[in-house]
Structure 1
Amino acid sequence: MGDFFRTQLFNIIAAVFLALFVIVWGTVLLQVWVFVPEVPGTPPKLNGAVVCAAGALSTSLSSLTASALGFTMAEVRREEQSGSAEAAGQAPAGVFEAGGFTTKLSGRVIAALMVYLVVGLLVLGVWLVKGTASTDLIGAFSLSLLGWIIGAAGVVFQTEKPSPQASAAG
């Protein structure tokens, strides 16, 4: 039994972190969604501890996933520059191979990306539907998610980089 926990420790920590993120944000979303204001446009009052936990968890998960994408991108680029990507049968120099990038992401990182994206899109949806009747917390996370998506899109749409010959000719 001890060996199981020893070998699965990182997976357990990741699962607990992601579960907390989903539970806390699920609670926030439920409270905001079912809230019926006495005065139209009035946001619900949330427990301060929930607000702090939700903010800390969303900021942490956003930072963790963004840094994982950035470090993985740097690793793939480093391999391309050293020639090991071509030797491994991957894309030639100057072409970014998305498959090589995604295979470098661990299962934990992929799970974190998917959880962040799904919960974030739900939060964005609630913010867009409820408008001023949502909370500043919902709005802040929605804007943060949009920034994160823009950054991730920068990675996704970067399918080609200029070759040294094209740079010298331009």
Structure 2
Amino acid sequence: MGDFFRKQLFNIIAAVFLALFVIVWGSVLIQVWVFVPVVPGTPPELNGAVVCAAGALSTSLSSLTASALGFTIAEVRREEQSSGEAAGKAQAGVFDAGGITTKLSGRVITALMVYLAIGLLVLGVWLVKGTASSDLIGAFSLSLLGWIIGAAGVVFQTEKPSSEPHAAG
């Protein structure tokens, strides 16, 4: 039994972290979604501990996923540059995004998907509820949009141009 936990320790830590993220943000989303303000546009009052936990978890997961992507991109770029130098080719600085996705661990991919899924739900609640949501919802929504813009920049930057000539239409 101890050997199982020893082999699965990182997976257990990742699962607990992601479960906490989902539970805390699920709680926030439910509280904001079902809240009916007495005065239109009034946000719900959220428990201070929930606000702190939600902020810490979302900031942490955003940073962790962004850094994992950044480190993986740097690793793939180094490998491609060294293989290009060995073959006597100069690299143009653009590399195959497929190399990045194959190097990401299952934990990182799961974290990315959880962050995006919950983030998109938070963004949806923020857009629907507007001022009747909370500053916490708005802050996470803006943070998610910034994260998506950064990720999109990486996606478009890593795209290799086709080596086939395009037919003029």
TM over 0.5, yes or no? yes
Aligned sequence identity (%): 86
Quote the residue 2:79 is aligned against: 79
- Larger deviation: 97-106 or 137-146? 97-106
Quote the residue 1:157 is aligned against: 156
Quote the residue 1:18 is aligned against: 18
Q: CA-to-partner distance for each residue in 1:109-167, whole Å, 9 max, x for gaps? A: 00000000000000000000000000000000000000000010011111138xxxxxx
Contact 1:44 1:134 in 2 (8 A): yes
Matched, 1:49 2:30: no
Contact 2:84 2:91 in 1 (8 A): no
CA distance in 2, matches of 1:85, 1:29: 51
Aligned length: 157
Matched, 1:111 2:110: yes
Matched, 1:68 2:68: yes
Distance 1:40 1:86, change over 3 A: farther
Instruction: Give the unaligned 5+ runs of structure 1.
Output: 162-170
After superposition, residues 82-161 of structure 1 pair within 5 angstroms as 82-83=82-83, 93-94=91-92, 95-158=94-157, 159-160=159-160
Q: Read off the aligned partner of 1:11 and give its amino acid letter.
A: N
Quote the residue 1:4 is aligned against: 4
TM superposition outliers: structure 1 runs of 4+ over 3 Å: 84-87, 92-95
CA distance in 2, matches of 1:8, 1:28: 30
Instruction: Give the unaligned 5+ runs of structure 2.
Output: 162-169
Q: Read off the aligned partner of 1:100 and give its amino acid letter.
A: G
- CA RMSD, 1 decimal: 1.8
Q: Read off the aligned partner of 2:44 and give its amino acid letter.
A: P
Distance 1:108 1:44, change over 3 A: same
CA distance in 2, matches of 1:124, 1:24: 16
Quote the residue 2:28 is aligned against: 28
CA distance in 2, matches of 1:21, 1:84: 41
